[in-house]
Amino acid sequence: MEIKVLGTGCSSCKALYETTKQAISELGCDATLIKEEDLLKIMEYNILGLPALVIDEKVVSAGKKLSLAEVKELITKLFYLLIATLVLVSCGNGSKKKTGENQAEEIQSNRIEVLYFHGAQRCITCRAIEANTVALLDSLYSKEKADGKIIYKVIDISKKENEAIADKYEVTWSSLFVNGWKDGKENVNNMTEFSFSNAKNAPDKFKEGIKSKIDELLKQL
């Protein structure tokens, strides 16, 4: 991920740069931060105010003073902008005949699936998501795991054998899903944004949020 702070060196521009630097550090994301002060290059972005924040060449804010929380939210939400592009491409495939794997999946028992996806490289926050999820499940739901009511899966999306499930959930980087299965129907809950916002810096809030979703789904089984 490449993040640029556009500015001419004013106090607001310097403040945004420092805030963004802190946000990257706290999120633990793998990002390159660039301070762009060349006016000719700044003009290429066709913005009306400074400072501006650009993430992977997309202007996400201009002419505003952003708080640390707002910058962190913009960084984490970029993931969903990338996913939207993938959805537009995949939607053209139309309906497909169910495979044997799909049919087998439908006849499995009612359950909750906690799916943690990761790539070949993981940031600090990604590892915090996994560690806190495992800790929560082991401490509060060991019986449900033993009974098969809760299934926890760690899925490496860099491996070819996991391409199908990654495509199913439109996953392109570390993600966490808490899904409920009832009578062959899946209730998908993408907890990725919540996880990246809390797993590293607010682990108790993260665990409470995941627990709340699991408890909600358990009542529906």
Query: For the segment 76-120, what is each residue's pLDDT rounded down to a tens digit?
Result: 877 556 555 555 555 555 444 444 445 444 445 899 999 999 988
Which residue has better confidence, 107 or 194? 194
Assess whether 80 and 111 both reside in one domain: no
Q: What gap in Å lies between CA 98 and CA 101, rounded to an integer? A: 8
Last residue of one domain, picked from the residues 60, 90, 120: 90
Assess whether 105 and 82 both reside in one domain: no
Q: What gap in Å lies between CA 156 and CA 170, rounded to an integer? A: 14
- Residue 150: which CATH number? 3.40.30.10
**Model pLDDT, residue 215:** 97
Assess whether 145 and 123 both reside in one domain: yes
Assess whether 106 and 146 both reside in one domain: yes
Assess whether 207 and 115 both reside in one domain: yes
Assess whether 86 and 109 both reside in one domain: no
Assess whether 108 and 214 both reside in one domain: yes
Q: What are phi and psi of 58, to 5 degrees?
A: -110, 125
Half-sphere exposure of 88 (CA within 13 A, CB side): 6
Last residue of one domain, picked from the residues 35, 55, 90: 90
Q: Average per-residue pLDDT in the chain?
A: 86
Assess whether 115 and 81 both reside in one domain: no
Assess whether 108 and 164 both reside in one domain: yes
Q: Structurally, how many domains does the chain consist of?
A: 2
Bridge partner residues of 180 (DSSP): 112, 187
**pLDDT class for 9, splitting at 50, 70, 90?**
confident
**Model pLDDT, residue 1:** 79
Q: What gap in Å lies between CA 100 and CA 44, rounded to an integer? A: 52
- From 49-53, 64-68, 96-100, 195-199, the region with the lowest mean pLDDT: 96-100
Q: Tokens standing for 55?
A: 């993430």
**Model pLDDT, residue 121:** 80
Domain ranges, residue 124: 99-220
**Model pLDDT, residue 221:** 87
Assess whether 60 and 112 both reside in one domain: no
Evaluate if pTM is beyond 0.75.
no
DSSP 96-127: -PPPHHHHHHHTSPSEEEEEEEE-SS--HHHH
**Model pLDDT, residue 79:** 57
**Where does residue 132 rank: exposed (0-12), middle (13-18), buried (19+ CB within 10 A)?**
buried
**Model pLDDT, residue 95:** 44
Q: Cα–Cα–Cα angle for 162, 117, 156, nearest 5°?
A: 45
- From 4-13, 94-103, 134-143, 148-157, the region with the lowest mean pLDDT: 94-103
Q: Please give the share of the chain, as a percent, with pLDDT higher than 90.
A: 58
**pLDDT class for 130, splitting at 50, 70, 90?**
very high
Unique residue bearing structure tokens 């996913």: 83
Last residue of one domain, picked from the residues 33, 56, 90: 90
Assess whether 61 and 140 both reside in one domain: no
